[in-house]
Amino acid sequence: MRERVWVSRSEAETLRLGQCLAEAVLPPVWIGLDGALGAGKTRFVQGFAAGMGFSGRVQSPTFVIENRYGGRVPLQHQDLYRLARPDDEILAGWDENESGVILVEWARRAETVPDRAISIRIERLATENEEPDIAFDDSAEPDEIDPDGSIGTRTEGDLDFSDLHPRRFFVTWTSADVVNTKQLDAAVADGKSTGWRSDHG
């Protein structure tokens, strides 16, 4: 398994993370994102889409399940939050992906994922003099997310960058031909983002 760990201290750094991965990913690939409400999943996808050459609006597909974008390759942006599990149509689309990138928020709702997959887990880091808090609250109702993708009333434990806590992104993949690792590390170095570390080769 290959892993990179990124510490994002702002929305701008989260966007940069998405852009760096977009520059190095080798489609077709499925990318699953997990983290609490407001953790930065959609912001990451915005950066990824920009890195893929898409200049339009990217917003959460919570209520529509899927949004599609252009770019260097076709992009599908899905959200499983309102589903107990992916339906047959979604699963078939994953299997039929031959050239694009599928980005899935709340990916842990899926019992199985494609072989060519990248997993991204987002954790909230503690500030000085505070214990780490990485037990996310999944009790919030979907209706707390506005149709435009913004977050409405949150339950205690939900996250927003306004809480000033940095996030840690764990990015893992098993297939060597899913990510150009040298290109990824070069893209990060070029952006002067030093939060990456390699825990596995």
Residue 146: CATH number of its domain: 3.40.50.300
Instruction: Identify the pLDDT of residue 198.
Output: 46
Structural domains of the chain, count: 1
**Mean pLDDT of the residues in the chain:** 80
* % of residues, the chain, pLDDT over 70: 76
Instruction: Identify the pLDDT of residue 186.
Output: 87
Instruction: Identify the pLDDT of residue 191.
Output: 62
More confidently predicted of 63 and 103: 103
Instruction: Identify the pLDDT of residue 192.
Output: 52
Q: Are 104 and 62 in contact, with CB atoms under 8 Å apart?
A: no
Tens-digit pLDDT profile for residues 12-57? 999 999 999 999 999 999 999 999 988 999 999 999 999 999 999 9
**Short-list 40, 48, 91, CA closest to 73:** 48
CA distance 87 to 92: 9
Instruction: Identify the pLDDT of residue 189.
Output: 77
Tens-digit pLDDT profile for residues 112-144? 999 999 999 999 887 654 444 433 334 344 444
Cβ burial 90-100 (10 Å sphere, 16+ → b, else e): bbeebeebeeb
Instruction: Identify the pLDDT of residue 71.
Output: 92
Q: What are the E-state strand segments in the chain?
A: 2-8, 29-34, 66-69, 75-79, 101-105, 117-124, 167-173, 198-200
**Domain hosting residue 150, numbered range:** 2-200
Per-residue confidence band for 165, with pLDDT thresholds at 50, 70 and 90: confident
Instruction: Identify the pLDDT of residue 128.
Output: 55
